[in-house]
Structure 1
Amino acid sequence: MFSVMYAIVDIETTGGFANGNGITEIAIILHNGMEVEGKFQTLINPNQRIPHFITVLTGIDNFMVADAPTFEDVAENVFNLLSNRIFVAHNVNFDYSFIKHQLQACGYELNVKKLCTVRMARKVMPGLPSYSLGNLCRSISISIEGRHRAYGDAAATALLFEKILAGDSEGHVAKMLKGKNKEQYLPTHLPAYYIEQLPMMPGVYYFHDSKGKIIYVGKATNLQKRVKSHFSNNDGGKRKQDLLRKVYSITHKECSSELVALILESIEIRKLWPEFNRSQKGFHQSYGLYTYEDRKGYVRFAIEKKKQHLNPLYTFNLLHEGQTLLRKMAEEFELNERLCFGVINDYADIVEDASLHNDKVLKAITALHEQLPTFAIFDGTYNHSSILLMNKGKFSGIAPKGEFGEDITLEQLKERMTPHPDNDYIRGLIYQYAEKYPERKILF
């Protein structure tokens, strides 16, 4: 290990993500794998207020950094110290994201390999109760002088690193340094085997936190490649850094095609509302078109907020969409608009009897259903395909293609499919697909 040069780094900051926060203290310990070669430490003026809770944690306050150099003042020195060395830190992605971001702002592009002492310790010292720096050092009898200060934590990390190198009889560190050192880009608490077990096929993946709760859902045409891409850059944004800290495990569901993966992703997001999903949270039908019979026997239409246990004739994102449709139906079938909209207290001027009105309403409903197509889409590869059902203009569910012969009926499909909730996003996907691949569409 003599030919490998390391820079063991620790920083204190004003917050938990690089974009919008600053560094208040930095310590760099130069190491050759056997012993310390040099040290650098300084307070940093972050050019922003230090929050009270940070001062409570670190002891660094605004007065202490008032006359300290800014990061720009030390950027060239920091860049030179880190260049051509392996960047080592406890929870390395955190420290690296801040320093890379600050150096970029000063015109320096840091691009070095990284090693995380959390990940290394898990491999070389398995079975310990905790791998936080304080608890880990306590377990292996390393004292930390100046906890939550940059040099104190960096010095403890250096001693930890020496113990890891000394105990690495199976060459884990050398393996981590091979190639592009991809494992170092993974979240600190995510074991690499969660990535390795992902198939290279379409599907939906789930990120779980320490308690197993799903915090993110995504879709992929290649599950392993897509999940790796989440961690392939060191984005300093709050959302990315929060996600990196919270991911502990990954599960997945294989799908027959990208279309099925898109649909399943939409269903799961709406069902689970994961913390880190933003897309599709606004895609939902707020209103439904319903019918009811009033106290005089007239079948009436109503546009209401969607009811959980009632099946609407049709659904809409916006109230005016439903009102526009209902007015067209009233005009086409000569319905009394007072019986379509609003509350009626006085029926004296409703000259049309209930049976005649109800016949018109039935014809309007029948016409609406006839305008809404019923068809199936076959999608996927020969050995791994699915059937998606659109029933009267609504998405109904998915069934494996292998369960059916060539002469499939609507009744057979309904009996064997897994039902799923309908929404306009899924409808749009299926209609677009059917238009693009008409040969995969079967009308019923």
Structure 2
Amino acid sequence: MYAILDIETTGGKYNEEGITEIAIYRFDGHKVTDQFISLVNPEREIQPFVVNLTGINSNMLKNAPKFYEVAKRIVEITEDCILVAHNSDFDYRILKTEFKRLGFPFKRKTLCTVQLSQQLIPDMESYSLGKLTRALGIPVSDRHRANGDAMATVKLFKMLLNKDTDKTIIKNAVKIEQKSKLASNLKDIIEELPSDTGVYYIHDANGNIIYIGKSNNIRKRITQHFTNKNSKSKKIQVQVAAVTYEKTGSELVALLKESEEIKANKPILNRALKRNQFTQGLYSFRDDNGYINLRVSHIRTNEKPITTFTNRKSGTSFINRMVETYELCNKLCGQEKSETSCFDYGIKACHGACVNEESPESYNKRANVVIEKNSYDNKDMILIDRGRDIEEKSVILIEDGIFRGIGFFDLNHQINNREILESLITPMQNNRDTQHIIQSYMRRNKRLKIIELQKQ
């Protein structure tokens, strides 16, 4: 659990500043669960430059509560939380100073979104909250007011959690929480989980991830882990101390994150993803008569397939659909080994490419459509799918035929601006696994929105 906050102060000498406004959002990694926003009477003068910056003046604070009147609420909303702030050293120092004046020791673990951003979003021009959120397309209202800056930090932190493929933030949080209140009872763990699509992480008592999985219903899948009698499930039941998760909305994003994060974290109870979980590829060649031939065959190490299939059966099923949809020739697609015409030619279902009656130019137009639709080779494009909530969409970026990564957006300008789009993206590895996952999903999901981008 996190307490994401922002504090506005009077300015002045070090450790003599007073709080003029505070905003705290209690955040469970997915949504805000509680909030506290208040002006505070600092009982001291506000520096003129601070008044100009924030718009907060002494008249506004005359009837505001003094710090001792809000202190209890601050303790309650931050209890068992990691404090998160943009430049957390400053906000945490100010809070500790105020509590020290009351004779109360205030101690919390902290996370700084400046430092996290520098690690997870390198090479940004500036890491100030205003410039960083602008570069990332994060909308900010009431800049330099506690509520506006705290909410911007919530949105930034949510993005940083998504970019943290090593799950360092989550693992440390689980380790801290485990010492205080995380349940070890399996039923209690299940009750905290959503029935949504996403990736889940099973942790031991030290916060280490021991298993990563993907599901279209996280709660149902974890329930299966906790009730099954197979060897892996029994090990999970013995070692589990907590389950964290990331909702993705999109099954494609979940599949890609699962593949990437298993490789990055190497959980002890995950068998490594099979390197060649797909065995068949679609290939093309021109025959002596100039016709494009399509073939499904075993993956060739020295040749890139147009698309891939898990097994021969799914490859054959795909070819049969393409023959029917695009009126291709079964013989030229490797489905018949006739010395003369194909069977469909005899029933007027083939245009005669198998006996040179249809011209290569006419036939190849349709064959090329199949190749074009099932390959993203050399293309710049984005795939847009469901997001984590109704207002959000997920985006998968492909540049020059190479999968670059995933992200989330809720405003169209974020994907129409190439620089912002690339900042939103969590970089991921491009490999045969990701190619297979993306191509297979594109074949199965006809409603997936695909936008081709202008070449840079």
Q: Same fold (TM over 0.5)?
A: no
- Give the TM-score band, short-chain normalised: 0.3 to 0.5
**Considering only CA atoms, is the larger Rg found in Structure 1 or Structure 2?**
1
Instruction: Return the TM-score normalized by structure 2.
Output: 0.37
Instruction: Return the TM-score normalized by structure 1.
Output: 0.38
